[in-house]
Amino acid sequence: MPATDPPAPTSPVLILGGTGEARALAAALVAEGIGCVSSLAGRVTDPALPVGEVRIGGFGGVQGLTRWLAEHHCTTVVDATHPFAQQISRNAADATAATGAKLISLRRPAWTPGPDETWTTVADIEAAARHLSTRAGRVFLTTGRQDVGAFAGIDDSWFLIRVVDPPTGPLPPRRQVIRSRGPYLVVGEREIMRDNRIDTLVTKNSGGVLTAAKLRAAAELGIEVVMIARPPLPVGGTRVASVGDAVVVVRQALALR
Ligand code: NAP
């Protein structure tokens, strides 16, 4: 008799994670006894792990994700990935459409400028690089290591590049790379910008409280903020903006099955 693989375990809820909200959601579902698996891309070394079951690594595109959902009898997918993780969100939309699983998109609200804050909003990372290339300056770059390459051709500005893990691609020639992981406080952000004579902060509109202190500090110091707007979410699915709302919609989705 040929050996057969054991059947894949049933996991009614898949959380596509890599964010604080995804970890909070996993904790809330586990506390309610709802079976879920959290999925991480495996990009960062030593990631903050959610409670409960975790899988790490890509699925192998839409086909791989579709297969995974079918094999695990997954009926509900919560896309709780970072607002700028576009590919996995597209894959989640396509794979849930293929299997009939419910898609819930959990996105924390975007940041909006306060009354004393003026931002230069740009459409994407390339537009941010084009904006910087028009003049020389001292730039605090907080867009994450995957996007640093867009600024590699700029040689008349100096960059302070803050990343969790070291960047592996091309870098701007005049730079310093510092490694750290939030959350950050206004006092520390003010100090780092003042000590490095920063005149421009470049950030994605990630939203959330953990990394918002840089915006307050930049406003206080009169530093220009170049804000990269969020890409649109794929069409379809139920959109929620808080972990609490995601739990409610997950419960409803499971009750309907
Ligand atoms: P992406 O461009 O949207 O996705 C690229 C590929 O990475 C996907 O096609 C998928 O591979 C894999 N992947 C992404 N997220 C995954 C997940 N949660 N579980 C399993 N596979 C995943 O993603 P990204 O922008 O590189 O972000 C990767 C992860 O870092 C995400 O989980 C995101 O939440 C987190 N993150 C991203 C940012 C950001 O600025 N982009 C910031 C903070 C955290 P396959 O096609 O092989 O399935």
Question: What is the pTM for the complete model shown?
Answer: 0.93
Averaged pLDDT, 130-148: 95
pLDDT of residue 1: 46
Task: Indicate whether residue 103 lines ligand 1 (CB < 6 A).
Answer: no
- pLDDT tens for 199-228 read 999 999 999 999 999 999 999 999 999 999
Report pLDDT digits (tens) over 239-248.
Answer: 999 999 999 9
pLDDT at 53 over 50: yes
Nearest CA to ligand 1 atom 15: 41
Q: In this predicted structure, what is the pLDDT of residue 92?
A: 98
State the virtual CA torsion across 146, 149, 154, 157 in degrees, nearest 10. Answer: 30
Quick one: which atom of ligand 1 is closest to the CA of 86? 3
Q: What is residue 2's predicted lDDT score, i.e. its pLDDT?
A: 52
Q: What is the mean pLDDT of residues 5-16?
A: 79
Question: Per residue in 70-98, pLDDT tens?
Answer: 999 999 999 999 999 999 999 999 999 99
**Region at 153 (left for phi over 0; alpha for psi -120 to 50; beta for the rest):** alpha
The atom number, within ligand 1, closest to the CA of 88 reads 3
Percent of the chain past pLDDT 90, that is, above it, reads: 90
